[in-house]
Amino acid sequence: MAPRADAVRNRERVLAAARAAFADLGGDAPMEEVARRAEVGMGTIYRHFPDKEALLVAVLDQRSQVSLAWVDEALEHPDPWEGFALLFGRLAQEFAEDRSLVEVARLRRRTDEAESYRQLVAGTQRVIDRAQRAGVLRLGIDADDVPALLAVAWEPPWVEDEQERWSTYVEVLLDGLRRPGPGG
Amino acid sequence: MAPRADAVRNRERVLAAARAAFADLGGDAPMEEVARRAEVGMGTIYRHFPDKEALLVAVLDQRSQVSLAWVDEALEHPDPWEGFALLFGRLAQEFAEDRSLVEVARLRRRTDEAESYRQLVAGTQRVIDRAQRAGVLRLGIDADDVPALLAVAWEPPWVEDEQERWSTYVEVLLDGLRRPGPGG
DNA sequence: CATCATGCGGAGCAACAGTTCCGCTTGTCA
DNA sequence: TGACAAGCGGAACTGTTGCTCCGCATGATG
């Protein structure tokens, strides 16, 4: 038996509402808030997702899928450093705009279930490898370090009115990660 | 009338227990946990501190007082860059060892009440000014940026077993913050 | 249109944390 | 040592949040 049409629709509504709610309020947004935004009852959420963590992971997985395109773009870039910097900057923006992503990614056990996220980490590792082989990226750093470094981006701003400071911090990090390369 | 001796002693016990509890469990350690460690009732905590936030700020202030010595040391260092790097590294270690510090420092309104913390920020600004005047520190960065940058240190480790990775991240940051200076 | 299982809504439950309250204890002082 | 108020302990209250349960609505099917 195929699932009922409204059930499919509601699952999408919940996922979209969760993405928005978690992006706005962080990972500790109440489930009731998600239900309100989805215009759906609590029971409906829990029929589609076993618990809150599963919902968070589903959101992470969905967003990771979008980010996967950036990995290919980075690998195709003629300059290994520019490719890495491009990916790093975009991930930083993603984290800066959505606090919940870091919180979820920290749930190590559960992220194993997020297929797209795993692919994103693996892809990032390839980008890093290429840059390190080219001698333009500091050694001793791997894909697992990226989320930790990007903490500078997702950390909420300390000085009000200046929300774009994280991009300066990313510049600092990239400066510190870069190596001159064999050509000087 | 002087306060009773046991009241003074208990206030110290609570403050010490809070420091330990928040360091271990972060800012969301339950008040009951603080009471347990202090071997004191809940009522005793609330007689000395109006609410949890006030207790957190008191801990921050106490620790900031200790850190103030580092500012003087940094200013007395003959090399402005080395002075800054020394202070930056020590603050990083402080944050890495005690997650709660960042969480508290983020309570902007309340930190105005933490005298030592204000002095620490002001002192850090002087260290930064000196390094920037000497041309060895990137411009466009001030004392308010330091806690945000140090997010790389307090962010809990992503890869288990490797708790010391934050020191690598601090190296990266310092590399990115440094400028060659007039002498080359 | 009738049937009925799939799916839905949202009140209610249990766990937990911050805070208050009050009867009892204990330090202080003469 | 006696009297008293300052101080104490911790049960209880309140609000919040994740999650469950069950009576009802509704889409699928013939």
Residues 6+ apart with CB under 8 A from B48: B7, B10, B11, B14
Side chain identity at residue A107, one-letter code: L
Contact flag, residue B36 CB and nucleic strand D, below 7 A: no
Side chain identity at residue B100, one-letter code: S
Which DSSP category does B54 fall into?
A: H
Closest-CA residue of chain A to B160: A108
Q: Which of B141, B154, B176 sits opposite A173 (nearest CB)?
A: B176
List all residues of chain B from 88 to 107 with a beta carbon under 8 Å from chain A: 106
C-alpha separations of A58 from A68, A108, A158 in Å: 16, 14, 30
C-alpha separations of B43 from A50, B47, B66 in Å: 40, 6, 29
pLDDT tens-digit series, residues B92-102: 999 888 888 87
pTM over 0.95, yes/no: no
pLDDT tens-digit series, residues A90-124: 999 998 888 888 878 777 667 778 999 999 999 99
Alpha carbons B105 and B109: distance in angstroms, whole number = 10
Residues of B in contact with A157 (CB under 8 A): 148
Query: Given an 8 Å threshold on Cβ–Cβ distance, is B144 in contact with A158?
Result: yes
**Chain A CB within 8 Å of residue B165 CB:** yes
- Asked whether A169 and A152 are in contact (CB, 8 A), the reply is yes
Q: Which residues does chain A have with pLDDT short of 50?
A: none
Query: Given an 8 Å threshold on Cβ–Cβ distance, is A168 in contact with B106?
Result: no
Contact flag, residue A47 CB and nucleic strand C, below 7 A: yes
pLDDT score for B65 = 95
pLDDT band at B109 (very low <50, low <70, confident <90, very high): low
Residue the block writes with tokens 């809940």: B42
- Shortest Cα distance from B39 to chain A (angstroms)? 32
